[in-house]
Amino acid sequence: RVEAKVALVTGAAKGIGLNARLFAREGAADALTDIDTGGIMAVAEEIEAAGRKAIGFRHKMVEETESKG
């Protein structure tokens, strides 16, 4: 059901990152955010190594200024 969709996963560098991997396995492209830049890039690289699409961004959800475009 997620084939050809984008999953936006916040806090994806740690435990919830397991959900990002699941979305990727089911065919979604993942847009991953977390304050932990190294962790989020590692998750994105792992997903891409499995042949799926993922991109990671540093993002701090508790800071309103970080969420404005």
Question: What pTM did the predictor assign?
Answer: 0.82
Structure confidence at residue 31 as a pLDDT band (50, 70, 90): very high
pLDDT attached to residue 50: 95
Non-local CB neighbours of 59 within 8 Å, separated by 6+ positions:
10, 33, 34, 35, 66, 67
Q: What is the mean pLDDT of the chain?
A: 89
12, 43 contact by CB (below 8 A):
yes
Residue 68's CB is within 10 A of a number of other CB atoms, namely 6
